[in-house]
Structure formats: structure tokens, C-alpha cells
Amino acid sequence: MRTPGLLLILVAIGGRYTLDRAGLLDLAWVDLRVIGLVVALVALGLSADAKARPVIDREGWLVAALLFFLFQIASALWAPPAARVGPQVLDLVLLGVLVVAFYRYSLSDPAAVARLTFQLFFVAAIVYALAAIFISGPGEQGRYSAFGGGPNVFARIEVLGVISAVALFMLTGRILPLLVIPLFLLATVLSGSRGTLVAGGVVGFAALLKLRHRLRGSAIVGAGLVAVVAVGAIWAFAPPEFTDLFQERFVEQTVQEQYLSGRTDIWMAAVDMFFDHPVAGSGLDGFYGLIGVNQAVEYPHNYVLAVAAEGGLAGLGLLTASVLLWTRLVRGGGARPQLTGLTVSATVFVALSGLFSGDYYDSRLAWMFAGLAAATALVPVADRVPVTAR
């Protein structure tokens, strides 16, 4: 049944979508995440088939992740007075529910869910790109986004569209999804998100490095020609704002002026906060409560540094445990190497993007793809070949 997956992915892509973003200011208190998750959980419960569901083990990474989320929520007890505890707790509760629900849904049929996920993100990337270019247009800084969201999250969806296009090509053999990649790349550049481009470049280079022995010379030449044509098409048909944004943000600010939007100062402040509160951190949203409230900075713009500053060694330990257990599970691809590799690529990309921007709830896509990767790698206990005792 596709309904639960569709609803869960829509909730994840939509982010914090309250009705004031749709112009209904009087209904700004209505959080569509809550409604979407409730409906998705009902649909998931109705579609569950206890007899058909295999018994799965090796879920230690998920247990560690949930303990990590619970610790973050509990850290609200020692957060500074100016911390925005209420909204942050709601974010973490919804994040935990979303991750568990999507993981359990993925276990029902990992191959089908993975394919559905890539199809939906492929379509979403097209819709977001067209909406940004033809409807929303550039924001105050000349950066593009869509549907009221931020440029960095918008860029993540576009790069996930690239990964989804490659995944659909590998899964179906159809070249059509690859032809849309120039649109995704154009939208990513128009977002002005330098961190997202770096993260996407790292994942792309790692994928090519891993597959270098499987690539034929003709495939490499063909990929090179496609890349040249794509860049030429982008440069020729892109709106005038494209060249202006590229020149200002990527050439002048980044290369010539080495301007990083104050990221280094923010990161150093988070590091100092970690040394001031090394054991359990400053508490949930402590960075804003102690620093950001006076400097108009919402969060540390680095997921790991945020955990270190607000959760200390305890938070870092739980996060590290979850990551290590997950890495051990998905390493080698498990039962479905191709699908696991694709979903791991999406997970790592969003995780790397989180080192440049985003708060805790903005990590939701990384945690969701991590759950999907774990599901594709797992082998049902009933299907395992028992080891004969000697």
C-alpha cells in the first residue's frame, strides 16, 4: 500500500508547514505535520499485515537514535530561560515518530518502498524547481526557493532529485530521468547553497570512485559529453539572474572575498559552548538561549556542533553509537546492495549538508533515508541460513 509512504514523504518534504505560509494568518497555529503524521499512522496501521511481516533484528542503530532524541528532549530541563523549548520539543517528537514510522513502513517491502521514494523525490524536485524559477523567483538575497521554504532545504531536494534520477535509471534502465538532471543542477545553483553543492560534489565523487572499476571507457566518454551538454544548456537557457548569482555568490564572495556568511564565527561559538558545558551540554536550544538571542543567530548551522554545544559528550556519544551501528549494518550493501548503496548515498548527502546549515528537524531526510537504507540491507530472520553447529 503506497498511501502511508506518500503521506510520510509529503510530511518530510513539507517541513514546518503551518497554514500562515499559505496566506491563512488566522490559522497559523495549525501544524500540518501533526495532521499528516496522524493520518499516515492510521493508514500504516490499516495496511499492516502481521502474518506477512518478517521478524527483523539488528535494530540497535534505531534504539540508539531514539535514546538520542529522548536525551535531547530531556535536556530541556537544564536549558537556559531564553531557549525556545516548546517548538524544539515538538520538532524532536515529530522527528522520532516520522523516522520510526517510515522505517517500519520500509520493512514491509524495502525494494518497493525505495523505488517509490526515489520516484516521489524525483517528481518533487521537478515541481520545486519549476515553482522556484517561474513562480517564486529570487528572494531578497537573489537566492531561489519554493513554497515558502529556505534556499538550503530547497537545494537539498534538488540534489536528492539528481540522486533519484540516477537511481531510477539504474533500477529501470530508462535514460529519461537523466535528461532532467540539468534542471535540478540549475535550481541548485540558483539556490545559492554552497554547502549543498559541496556535499553533493563529495557524494558524487565518492560514488564515481567506488564504481571506477565497473565503468567502461564508452560510458565515461558518454557521461563527459552529457555533462558538457548539460553545462552548456544551463548557461544558454538559464535566466539572467543565474549568471549574476553565480558571479556574486560563488566567484566574488566565495573565491575572491572568502566570505562564508559568518559560519566560522558561529561554529567557534558552538565549540566554546561545548567546552563550557562538556558533559551534558547547555540544554535544548541552548545555543540560541545563550548566544543567538543576542546576535540574531537561530542555531549553529552545523548538526554535530549543535549536538556538542547543547548535548555535550552524552549527546555526542548517543549520536555516534547510532551512526556506528547503522554503518555496520549497511556496510557492504546487505541483502540488496544496489538499493542500499543508493539510499546510503542520499543519507550521506543530507548528513553532509547538515554540517553547513540546518537545525535538528532539518536532519529529518537524513534519518529517513538512513531507515530506508537499513531496511534494504536487512535480511529477514526467517530467511537466514542457520549455521550448523560442529
pLDDT digits (tens, 9 = 90+) for 260-297: 556 788 999 999 999 999 999 999 999 999 998 888 78
Q: Inform me whether the pLDDT recorded for 385 exceeds 50.
A: no
Three cell numbers at 77?
530541563
- 156's CB contacts (< 8 A; 6+ apart) are 193, 196, 349, 350, 353, 365
**Residue 178: predicted pLDDT:** 87
Enumerate long-range contacts of 312-320, CB under 8 Å, 24 or more apart: 312/274, 312/277, 312/278, 312/279, 312/280, 312/281, 313/278, 313/279, 313/280, 314/71, 314/279, 314/280, 314/281, 315/68, 315/71, 315/72, 315/75, 315/280, 315/281, 318/64, 318/67, 318/68, 318/71, 319/68
Residue type present at position 299: Y
**Residue 149: predicted pLDDT:** 82
Q: Inform me whether the pLDDT recorded for 73 exceeds 90.
A: yes
Backbone angles phi, psi at 169, to 5 degrees: -65, -45
CA 273/CA 108 separation, integer angstroms: 43
Residue 51: which pLDDT band, with cuts at 50, 70 and 90? very low
- Give yes or no for a contact between 373 and 334, defined as CB atoms under 8 angstroms apart: no
**Residue 52: predicted pLDDT:** 44
Percentage of residues in the chain having pLDDT higher than 70: 78
Could you tell me how many helices (H) and strands (E) the chain has, helices first? 16, 0
The pLDDT of 131-156, averaged and rounded, is: 85
Residue type present at position 61: W
The pLDDT of 71-86, averaged and rounded, is: 95
**Residue 15: predicted pLDDT:** 83
The pLDDT of 87-106, averaged and rounded, is: 95
pLDDT, greater one: 57 or 152: 152
The pLDDT of 215-237, averaged and rounded, is: 61
The pLDDT of 298-317, averaged and rounded, is: 95
**Residue 189: predicted pLDDT:** 85
- Give yes or no for a contact between 146 and 131, defined as CB atoms under 8 angstroms apart: yes
**Residue 215: predicted pLDDT:** 57
Q: Inform me whether the pLDDT recorded for 54 exceeds 70.
A: no
CA angle, 362 as apex, 117 and 95 as ends, to 5°?
75
pTM for the whole structure: 0.86
**Residue 157: predicted pLDDT:** 96
**Residue 246: predicted pLDDT:** 56
pLDDT digit string, tens, across residues 228-263: 666 666 666 566 665 565 555 554 555 444 445 567
**Residue 219: predicted pLDDT:** 53
- Give yes or no for a contact between 329 and 370, defined as CB atoms under 8 angstroms apart: no
- Give yes or no for a contact between 160 and 121, defined as CB atoms under 8 angstroms apart: yes
- 178's CB contacts (< 8 A; 6+ apart) are 165, 166, 169, 226
CA 230/CA 57 separation, integer angstroms: 44
Q: Which string of DSSP letters, residue by residue, matches 238-262? A: S-HHHHHHIIIIIIIIIIIS---TT
Three cell numbers at 301?
548551522
Point out the least confidently predicted range of 186-195, 209-218, 371-380, 381-390. 381-390
**Residue 212: predicted pLDDT:** 64
* Average pLDDT taken over every residue of the chain: 84
pLDDT digit string, tens, across residues 175-208: 889 889 988 988 898 888 888 888 988 998 888 7
The pLDDT of 22-43, averaged and rounded, is: 80
Counting every residue, how long is the chain? 390
Residue 383: which pLDDT band, with cuts at 50, 70 and 90? low
Alpha-carbon Rg for the chain in angstroms: 21
Q: Which one-letter DSSP state was computed for residue 389?
A: P
The pLDDT of 324-345, averaged and rounded, is: 91
- 180's CB contacts (< 8 A; 6+ apart) are 122, 126, 161, 165
The pLDDT of 335-355, averaged and rounded, is: 93
CA 109/CA 122 separation, integer angstroms: 20
Mean pLDDT is highest, among 24-38, 155-169, 173-187, 215-229, for 155-169
Backbone angles phi, psi at 341, to 5 degrees: -60, -40
